[in-house]
Amino acid sequence: MDSSNRRQIAFTVAVLFGIIAVAAGNLAMLLWAVAVGAIAVAAWAWVRMAWDGVTIEASFQPARAFVGEPVFLRVTMANAKRLPLPLVRLGVWFPPGLYPAAEGGSSAIRGYARRLYLAGRSKATLELPVRVIHRGEFWLERIDVEVSDPFDLTPLRRNMLPDADLLVMPEPRIEVPVEVRRRLPFGQPARTAVMYEERERFAGVRPYESGDPLNRIHWKLTGHAGGLQTKLFEPTRSADVMLVLDLSVGEPFWDAVYPEIAEDTIGWASFLARVAIDGGWRIGLMANTHLTRGRGPLRIPPSSVNGHEAAVFAALARMPNEPTSDLGPVLREEGRRMSRNTTTVILSPRPGPRLRHEMAVLRRRGLEVLPLSPLEAALAREAGA
Domain that holds residue 373: 178-194+237-384
Cβ distance 155 to 147 under 8 Å?
yes
Do 161 and 27 have their domain in common?
A: no
Do 255 and 360 have their domain in common?
A: yes
Please state the pTM of the whole predicted model. Answer: 0.71
Do 190 and 330 have their domain in common?
A: yes
E strand or H helix at 241, and its extent? strand 240-245
DSSP string, 278-297: HTT-EEEEEESS-SSTTS-S
Do 157 and 116 have their domain in common?
A: yes
In eight-state DSSP terms, residue 165 is: E
Q: Which of 248, 239, 216 is nearest to 229 (CA)?
A: 216
Within a domain: 217? no
Do 25 and 61 have their domain in common?
A: no
Query: What is the C-alpha to C-alpha distance for residues 303 and 284, in angstroms, rounded to an integer?
Result: 7
Query: What is the C-alpha to C-alpha distance for residues 145 and 56, in angstroms, rounded to an integer?
Result: 9
Within a domain: 205? no
Do 89 and 107 have their domain in common?
A: yes
Within a domain: 231? no
Query: What is the C-alpha to C-alpha distance for residues 286 and 303, in angstroms, rounded to an integer?
Result: 14
Residue where a domain terminates, one of 12, 30, 49? 49
Do 359 and 284 have their domain in common?
A: yes
Could you give the residue ranges of the DSSP H alpha helices within the chain?
A: 4-24, 27-49, 178-183, 219-225, 259-278, 308-318, 327-335, 353-364, 374-384
Q: Which of 293, 311, 292 is nearest to 302 (CA)?
A: 311
Within a domain: 222? no
**pLDDT for position 16:** 76
| Residue 277, SS3 per DSSP | helix
Residues of the chain with pLDDT under 70: 1-11, 13-14, 36, 39-40, 42, 103-107, 186-203, 233-238, 293-295, 384-385
CA distances from 239 to 193, 215, 284, 369 (A): 10, 19, 11, 14
The structural domain count of the chain equals 3
Do 188 and 247 have their domain in common?
A: yes
Do 347 and 362 have their domain in common?
A: yes
Sign of the C-alpha dihedral, residues 315, 289, 200, 372?
A: positive
Do 115 and 36 have their domain in common?
A: no
Do 250 and 342 have their domain in common?
A: yes
CA 158 to chain centre: 27
Within a domain: 214? no
CATH number at residue 363: 3.40.50.410
| Residue 127, SS3 per DSSP | strand
Q: pLDDT of 179-198, one tens digit each?
A: 777 777 765 533 444 455 55
**pLDDT for position 129:** 92
Say which amino acid occupies 294.
G
**pLDDT for position 26:** 78
In eight-state DSSP terms, residue 176 is: P
Say which amino acid occupies 279.
G
**pLDDT for position 336:** 82
Non-local CB neighbours of 128 within 8 Å, separated by 6+ positions: 72, 73, 74, 75, 92, 100, 102, 111, 112
What length does the chain have? 385
Query: What is the C-alpha to C-alpha distance for residues 351 and 371, in angstroms, rounded to an integer?
Result: 9
**pLDDT for position 59:** 93
Do 82 and 163 have their domain in common?
A: yes
Within a domain: 330? yes
Q: Burial letters for 15-47: b for 16+ Cβ neighbours within 10 Å, e otherwise?
A: eebbeebeeeeeeeebeebeebbebbeebbebb
CATH number at residue 162: 2.60.40.10
Q: Which of 16, 51, 370, 350 is nearest to 182 (CA)?
A: 370
Q: Other C-beta atoms within 10 Å of 96: how many?
A: 10
In eight-state DSSP terms, residue 264 is: H
Bridge partner residues of 372 (DSSP)? 347
Q: pLDDT of 258-295, one tens digit each?
A: 999 999 999 999 999 988 888 778 889 999 998 776 56
Q: Other C-beta atoms within 10 Å of 100: how many?
A: 21
Within a domain: 348? yes
